[in-house]
């Protein structure tokens, strides 16, 4: 890390850093002065929220950041989910994003991969909504 990062946390908010969970009882600013793998609570999704292919990939990536002991199995799962999603989607924005995520996965840049996935949520949602509408029309 070439420069420090300041993280502003609300009272009670959790911060996942290098596999440890920190909670602060009041609003605070944390300065990370060296390389650290961190995840803010606001970016964490729960297992019941993994209802789409991209959210499943995100969850696997998130698991690697939150628990470094699971990197091996979670990396394999993420790679399998990326391959399955590449066969599922035909949208170029999503396919290009998945290619980038795959490269980031290979180089251990899980947080950057998660940012790309989050950026694709709206496109995935639009595709799923369109498929749902099409299915409703066909059923009628």
Residues 29 and 76 in one domain: no
Q: Quick one: 82 and 114 in the same domain? A: yes
- Same domain for 80 and 122, yes or no, is yes
Q: 10 Å Cβ neighbour count for 43? A: 15
Assess whether 36 and 84 both reside in one domain: no
The answer on 120 and 102 residing in a single domain is yes
Same domain, residue pair 23 and 69: no
Helix (H) or strand (E) holding 29: strand 28-32
pLDDT of 18: 81
119 token code pair:
């950026």
The parts of the chain modelled with pLDDT lower than 70 are: 1-2, 132-140
DSSP code at position 16 = E
User: Are residues 10 and 26 both part of a single domain?
Assistant: yes
Q: Are residues 23 and 74 in the same domain?
A: no
State how many domains the chain has. Answer: 2
Instruction: Let me know whether 129 and 75 are in one domain.
Output: yes
Whether the CB-CB separation of 23 and 2 falls below 8 Å is answered with no
35 and 52 both lie in a single domain: no
78 and 104 share one domain: yes
Helix/strand number for the chain, H first, E second: 4, 5
Residues 116 and 64 in one domain: yes
pLDDT value of position 140: 41
**Structural domain boundaries enclosing 98:** 45-139
């Amino acid at each position: 890390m070439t420069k420090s990062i300041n993280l502003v946390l609300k009272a009670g908010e959790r911060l996942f850093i290098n596999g440890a969970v920190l909670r602060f009882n009041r609003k605070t600013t944390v300065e990370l002065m060296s390389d650290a793998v961190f995840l803010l609570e606001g970016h964490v999704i729960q297992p019941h929220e993994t209802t789409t292919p991209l959210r499943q990939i995100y969850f696997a990536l998130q698991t690697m950041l939150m628990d470094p002991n699971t990197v091996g199995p979670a990396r394999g799962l993420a790679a399998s989910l990326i391959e399955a999603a590449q066969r599922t989607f035909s949208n170029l924005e999503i396919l290009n994003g998945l290619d980038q995520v795959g490269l980031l996965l290979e180089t251990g840049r899980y947080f950057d991969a998660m940012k790309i996935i989050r950026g694709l949520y709206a496109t995935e949602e639009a595709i799923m909504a369109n498929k749902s509408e099409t299915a409703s029309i066909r059923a009628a």
